[in-house]
Amino acid sequence: MAPSRQASLRRQLHALAEPSGAEAATAAFVAARLEALRPDGLLTGLGGHGVAALFDGGRPGPTVVLRAELDAVAVPESIPLRHASRTPGCSHKCGHDGHMAILLEVARRLARARPACGRVVALFQPAEETGAGAAAVAADDRFAALRPDWLFALHNLPGYDVGRVLVRPGAFAAGSAGLRVTLRGRTAHAAHPEQGRSPDRAMGELITALVTLPPRPDAGDALELVTVTHARLGDPAFGIAPGEAEILATLRADDDDALSALRKQATTAARDIARSHGLRCRLDWEEVFPVTWNDPAAAALVRRAARENGLAVARPRESAFRWSEDFGVLARLGRGALFGLGAGRRHPGLHAEDYDFNDALLPVGAALMHRLALEALQEPAGSPGGSRR
């Protein structure tokens, strides 16, 4: 059977896969498709390669932003697909190709029938995976000038029934921060390690300290997690006592205050251990994502639109998903909600090598996002509700 128009578009985007921050061809592809729809405005080069198309109802009303992501992930395509990624070591294993195809279909519907009031912005955001893209888009004056009232994004979620909508008010996805610790001593001959200063023991102590950082006394079952993701001691050799070590860890929490407390604890542990071994210590923070916080009114709109489209709605099993999403940065610009769309109970997991977006979600996702935008346009704009704590 020939793929649907949406599926064929999704597969073309899949083949184009580009890493975060380097989405030039994907952005050009999306911009060309949007331009053909004759939107009321088209912004390119937003915070890097970001693209946004405006569909204006011509009468006053809220501004609703719908977001998809342009980037692929650094996972090789290891399954035989006719639409396989043409970029070595990089493929759409997070389903952003599907999210883009969904948003292009919503744009097509809005182009055919403009909203009755207000305007809808279809935003294709760069560099989601590194956490840099949303902040760069938010910092772009042309995007800030749109002054969004409502912001929505969906993410496909393997492990849940196809088309099930997962949403909750409050913390939806964890905040996280990548910590790179470099410990520096002095190399020596491996026969005379006492003449140098190897970070070997400090490295072991720091790994243990990081993965056992004590939780806050009032943490309860709240998420606080440190995962050591990489460690390196010197370079591979038998004749040299190493003089440098590097440890990478990801810190996660479902509350922004808890995440900053965790960062402070990790910083103190690294500095104290380095000092006690007479080592120099450098700390770099990378890939920092705030908690994705869903505004209660925005989450309620997602539930309503889903029910009206005949979709089952559920709260996620976890208090907040442990993964991070930089949509949290955009959501703060107005009333925002990120929600999940079940991709199938047995569908391969996000970032797994055998993952490919489930095309069955394309019509479901497009109809839902379209409905959601129209619903939000009927709601008066107002200040975001709920506490971020």
**CB-based closest residue to Zn ion:** 94
Per-residue binding string, Zn ion, 131-150, x by CB under 5 A, is --------------------
**From 90-98, 114-122, 139-147, 310-318, span contacting Zn ion (CB under 5 A):** 90-98
Name residues contacting Zn ion, limited to 37-76 (CB under 5 A). none
CB 366, CB 106: distance < 8 Å: yes
CB of 98 or CB of 163, closer to Zn ion? 98
Would you call 194 exposed, middle or buried from its count of C-beta atoms within 10 A (0-12, 13-18, 19+)? exposed
Length of the chain measured in residues: 389
Task: Report the nearest approach of Zn ion to the CB of residue 73 (Å).
Answer: 8
Residue 78 CB, nearest approach to Zn ion (Å) = 19
Q: Is position 90 an interface residue for Zn ion (rule: CB under 5 A)? A: no
**Closest approach of Zn ion to the CB of residue 204, in Å:** 34
Nearer to Zn ion, 94 or 329 (CB): 94
The DSSP annotation for 265-309 comes to HHHHHHHHHHHHTT-EEEEEEEEEE--EEE-HHHHHHHHHHHHHT
Nearest to Zn ion of 94, 245 (CB atom): 94
Shortest Å, Cβ 264 to Zn ion: 29
Instruction: Compare residues 306 and 338 and give the one whose CB is closer to Zn ion.
Output: 338
* Region of 86-94, 142-150, 181-189, 203-211 interacting with Zn ion (CB under 5 A): 86-94
At 110, list the tokens.
Answer: 């809005």
CB of 284 to Zn ion, least distance (A): 24
| Nearest-angstrom CA–CA distance, 123 and 196 | 54
Please tell me the count of residues contacting Zn ion according to CB under 5 A.
1
Whose CA is closest to 95, among 47, 53, 129? 129
DSSP character for 62? -
Q: Which is nearer to Zn ion, 96 or 303 (CB)?
A: 96
- Minimum distance from CB of 96 to Zn ion (Å)? 6
127 close to 48: Cβ distance less than 8 angstroms: yes
Instruction: State the nearest-atom distance from the C-beta of 239 to Zn ion, in Å.
Output: 45
- Look at residues 187, 14, 23, 108 and name the one whose alpha carbon lies nearest to residue 367: 108
Residue from 51, 72, 94, 320 in contact with Zn ion (CB under 5 A): 94
- Neighbouring residues of 56: CB distance < 8 A, sequence distance ≥ 6: 40, 41, 114, 115, 119
Q: Which is nearer to Zn ion, 94 or 281 (CB)?
A: 94
| DSSP code of residue 73 | B
Which stretch, 89-97, 173-181, 328-336, 369-377, contacts Zn ion (CB under 5 A)? 89-97
Task: Measure Cα distances from 112 to 55, 153, 308 in Å.
Answer: 10, 22, 22
Contacts of 267 (CB under 8 A, 6+ apart): 283
Residues engaged in binding Zn ion (CB under 5 A): 94
